[in-house]
């Protein structure tokens, strides 16, 4: 691997040329909108390249801890959560390749979703509030990071 | 529709065939338009000549993008049905729907030909304005006009909800489908649909719903006349869907007139429609801001799923995946938190 320039830097360089050189030369309205969308995708991808592995691993661990705690609280009460969580843990990857950790993240997120639904169904407001606070205050800022320049080009 | 070389001749032949009483049509200018995220659009200048008089007009073509490239899949037959019926009714300000290539044999895709609206969209017109509360009232009046169209006057082919209770349930069910079918497990969608089901408000009598009521779909000309465009999501449903979708879209894309003066907007809207404050209030609008997003969210997430599985090749889907979806997720969570606080306070 050649770490520098980083993937983010390479993407940002391409994006800069797209914005400064290519788009101003494009007269066709629909093509210009597509290029604007591409430069915004590149911008987010640059951020993602720097953070994707860290965020996937961190988020998976956070969801895993929540589901484990909820199952401890309700040893008999969350049957679907327990089944999906056990199925997820059986698929834990042993490396850091993005597709593998992404697939594991997805399985744990499925168990986390089941936990939210079952906890809401049984009226465990404390745990539901904890899950919602995590989605709002931890997960959502991660999802939004890097989208500062995102907009809806061509609308209007 | 993007073929600038072939389309003028095809359009002229289609128009001449479909409206022979106006004489022979020639297309003197044709250019694809940006501005829609769902359909292919083009603007054309057409000259009609019957041998003695010549009339020049500008029309807009609205058709389906090539397969696999659409961000949102909607039915052109259904759009034509509503748009044409509303044109004939004359109860709303909208560009007249004129002709329809129902098979795509003439224009290459099923395609509606409608009048061109002079002016600009409300989205751009609002930029830099400081009279947003006043504009909110005008928006409420325009929306009330749509919701006051008599359902009995709409085409019989337009589906009527068999039970008003089902209107909200169907939207919640769609959220459940989104949760189940999305290529990623998203705890937010599970939370949203579980919460929506547990907090459903009372239904309202169904009305005409535009289905994509937003500033970019309102054209405003130099005289201030407003015309509602893009009827692809029109249906008979709960009128609060339109207020909720407006609120969500404008929170993502900017200049939210509803939020500029929610109380004023709702008061004027209720005054014109006669709807009860128990049904139409800031809480129910908040609820519908989430639940009504299901229709467009379903389509956009389908395109994003397709991108992930390789079935869709759409830059627009990639663009939505990295911004619109995440922004929407934050809005749903914030709204539910606010609605729960309001409920506790009351």
Determine the Cα–Cα distance for residues B3 and B58; give it in Å rounded to an integer: 18
Mean pLDDT of A133-141: 97
From chain A, the residues in CB contact with B186 under 8 A are: 109, 113
DSSP secondary-structure letter at B27? E
Give residue A156's pLDDT band: very low, low, confident or very high (50, 70, 90).
Answer: low
What sign does the CA torsion over B234, B235, B238, B241 have?
A: negative
Mutation target for A interface from B36, B319, B337, B339: give the one with most A CBs within 10 A: B319
Q: What is the value of pTM for the model shown?
A: 0.92
Q: What pLDDT digit, counting tens, does each position of B8-31 carry?
A: 999 999 999 999 999 999 999 999
* Rounded Cα–Cα distance for residues B111 and B204 (Å): 34
d(CA A14, CA A36): 13
pLDDT tens profile B177-202: 999 999 999 999 999 999 999 999 99
CB contacts < 8 Å between A and B, how many?
Answer: 114
Residue B217: predicted pLDDT: 94
Q: Measured between alpha carbons, how far is B14 from A3 in angstroms, rounded to an integer?
A: 58
| Tokens 């993937």 found at | A7
- pLDDT tens-digit map of B262-280: 999 999 999 999 999 999 9
Interface test with B, best of A84, A88, A155 (most B CBs within 10 A): A155
* Burial call B253-289: b when 16+ CB within 10 Å, e when fewer: bebbbbebbbeebbebbbeebebeeebbbbebbbbbb
The answer, yes or no, to whether residue A33 has pLDDT greater than 60, is yes
Share of chain B above pLDDT 70, in %: 99
Q: What is the CA radius of gyration of chain B?
A: 21
**Would you give the DSSP letter of residue A155?**
-
Which residues of A fall within a CB distance of 8 Å from B37? 152, 154-155
| CA closest to A153 among chain B residues | B35
Q: Does A35 touch chain B (CB under 8 A)?
A: no
Question: Chain B partners of A107 at a C-beta cutoff of 8 Å?
Answer: 185
Question: How confident is the model at residue A92, as a pLDDT?
Answer: 98
Would you list the DSSP string of A81-144? HHHHHHHHHTT--SS--HHHHHHHHHHHHHHHHHHHHHHHHHT-HHHHHHHHHHIIIIIHHHHH
Whether A116 and chain B come into contact, CB under 8 Å, resolves to yes
User: B34 versus B111: which is more confidently predicted?
Assistant: B111
Secondary structure letter of residue B49 according to DSSP? E
> pLDDT band for position A155 (50/70/90)?
low
Contacts of B66 in chain A (CB under 8 A): none
- The verdict on B189 touching A (C-beta cutoff 8 Å) is yes
Does residue B330 sit at the A interface (CB-CB below 8 Å)?
A: yes
3-state secondary structure of B234: coil
Query: CB distance B187–A112 less than 8 Å?
Result: yes
* Minimal-distance CA residue of chain A relative to B34: A30
CB-CB neighbors (< 8 A) of B327 in chain A: 144, 147, 150
- Compute the nearest-CA separation of B295 from chain A (Å): 19
Nearest CA in chain A to B36: A155
Rounded to the nearest angstrom, the minimum Cα separation between A63 and chain B is 10
- Interface mutation target, options A118, A152, A153, A154, chain B, most CBs of B under 10 Å: A152
List helix spans (H) across chain B.
7-18, 76-89, 122-125, 132-147, 164-181, 187-198, 240-253, 257-260, 262-273, 282-291, 294-309, 315-322, 324-345
Across the interface, whether the CB atoms of B315 and A152 are under 8 A apart is answered no
Nearest to A41 among B31, B32, B319 (CB): B319
What pLDDT is attached to residue B346? 83
What DSSP assignment string belongs to B63-111?
EPPSTT--SS---HHHHHHHHHHHHHH--S--PPEEEEESSSTTTSS-E
pLDDT for residue B72 is more than 70? yes
Tell me the shortest Cα–Cα distance from B87 to chain A, in angstroms.
23
pLDDT band at B253 (very low <50, low <70, confident <90, very high): confident
**B180 touching A, CB under 8 A?**
no
Q: Is A120 on the interface with B (CB under 8 A)?
A: yes
Q: State whether A116 and B184 contact (CB < 8 Å).
A: no
A152 vs B189, B195, B253: nearest CB: B253
Residue A155 and residue B123: Cβ atoms within 8 Å? yes
Short-list B62, B60, B54, CA closest to B38: B62
Instruction: Say if the ipTM goes beyond 0.90.
Output: yes
Question: Contact A113/B195, CB-based, under 8 Å?
Answer: no
Q: What percent of chain B has pLDDT over 90?
A: 86
Q: Are A114 and A78 in contact (CB under 8 A)?
A: yes
φ and ψ at residue B18, rounded to 5 degrees: -85, -20
Chain B nearest-CA distance from A113, in A, is 4
Per the prediction, chain A carries an average pLDDT of 96
User: CB-based contacts of A20: which residues, under 8 Å, 6+ apart?
Assistant: none
Tell me whether B323 touches chain A (CB under 8 Å). Answer: yes
* Residue B165: predicted pLDDT: 87
Q: Which two tokens stand for residue B281?
A: 């209030």
Phi, psi of A115 (to 5 degrees): -65, -45
Task: Tell me which chain A residues have a C-beta less than 8 angstroms from the C-beta of B198.
Answer: 120
User: Do residues A103 and B184 touch, judged by C-beta distance below 8 A?
Assistant: no
Nearest-by-CA chain B residue for A142: B326
pLDDT at B94: 97
- State whether residue A28 sits within 8 Å of chain B by CB: yes
pLDDT of residue A8: 97
Which whole number is the average pLDDT over B333-341? 96
Whether the CB of A152 is below 8 Å from some CB of chain B: the reply is yes
The per-residue pLDDT for range B111-133, each reduced to its tens digit, is: 999 999 989 999 999 999 999 99
Nearest CA among B139, B330, B342, B143 for reference residue B251: B330
Q: How far apart are CA B79 and CA B72, in angstroms?
A: 14
User: Which pair of structure tokens corresponds to residue A94?
Assistant: 């042993």
């Amino acid at each position: 691997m050649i770490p520098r320039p980083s993937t983010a830097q390479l993407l940002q360089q391409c994006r800069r040329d797209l914005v400064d050189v290519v788009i101003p030369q494009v007269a066709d309205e629909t093509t210009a909108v597509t290029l604007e969308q591409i430069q915004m995708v590149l911008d987010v991808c640059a951020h993602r390249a720097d953070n994707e592995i860290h965020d996937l691993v961190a988020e998976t661990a956070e969801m895993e801890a929540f589901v484990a705690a909820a199952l401890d609280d309700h040893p008999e009460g969350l049957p679907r959560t327990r089944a999906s969580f056990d199925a997820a843990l059986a698929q834990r990857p042993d490396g850091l390749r993005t597709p593998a950790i992404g697939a594991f993240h997805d399985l744990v997120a499925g168990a986390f979703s089941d936990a939210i639904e079952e906890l809401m169904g049984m009226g465990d407001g404390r745990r539901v509030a904890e899950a919602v606070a995590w989605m709002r205050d931890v997960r959502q800022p991660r999802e939004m990071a890097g989208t500062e320049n995102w907009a809806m080009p061509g609308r209007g | 529709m993007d073929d600038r070389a072939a389309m003028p001749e095809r359009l002229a032949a289609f128009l001449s065939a479909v409206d022979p009483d106006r004489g022979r049509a020639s297309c003197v200018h044709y250019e694809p338009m940006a501005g829609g995220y769902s359909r292919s659009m083009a603007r054309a200048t057409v000259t009609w000549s019957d041998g003695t008089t010549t009339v020049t007009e500008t029309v807009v073509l609205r058709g389906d993008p090539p397969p696999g490239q659409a961000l949102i899949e909607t039915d052109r037959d259904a759009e034509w049905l509503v748009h044409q019926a509303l044109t004939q009714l004359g109860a709303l300000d909208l560009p007249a729907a004129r002709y329809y290539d129902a098979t795509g044999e003439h224009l290459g895709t099923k395609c509606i030909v409608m009048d061109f609206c002079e002016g600009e969209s409300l989205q751009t017109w609002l930029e830099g304005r400081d009279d947003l509360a006043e504009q909110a009232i005008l928006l409420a009046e325009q929306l009330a006009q749509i919701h006051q169209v008599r359902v009995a006057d709409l085409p019989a082919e337009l589906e009527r909800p068999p039970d008003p209770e089902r209107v909200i349930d169907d939207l919640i069910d769609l959220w459940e489908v989104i949760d189940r079918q999305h290529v990623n497990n998203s705890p937010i969608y599970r939370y949203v649909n579980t919460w929506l089901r547990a907090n459903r408000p009372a239904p309202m009598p169904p009305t005409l719903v535009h289905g994509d009521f937003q500033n970019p779909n309102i054209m405003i000309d130099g005289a201030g006349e407003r015309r509602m465009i893009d009827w692809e999501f029109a249906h008979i449903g709960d009128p609060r869907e339109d207020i909720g979708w407006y609120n969500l879209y404008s929170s993502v894309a900017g200049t939210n007139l509803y939020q500029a003066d929610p109380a004023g907007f709702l008061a004027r809207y209720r005054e014109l429609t006669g709807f009860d404050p128990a049904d139409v209030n800031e809480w129910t609008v908040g609820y519908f801001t989430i639940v009504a997003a299901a229709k467009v969210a379903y389509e956009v997430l389908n395109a994003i799923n397709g991108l992930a599985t390789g079935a869709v090749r759409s830059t627009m889907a990639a663009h939505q995946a990295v911004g619109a979806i995440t922004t929407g997720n934050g809005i749903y969570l914030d709204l539910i938190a606010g609605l729960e606080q309001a409920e506790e306070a009351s």
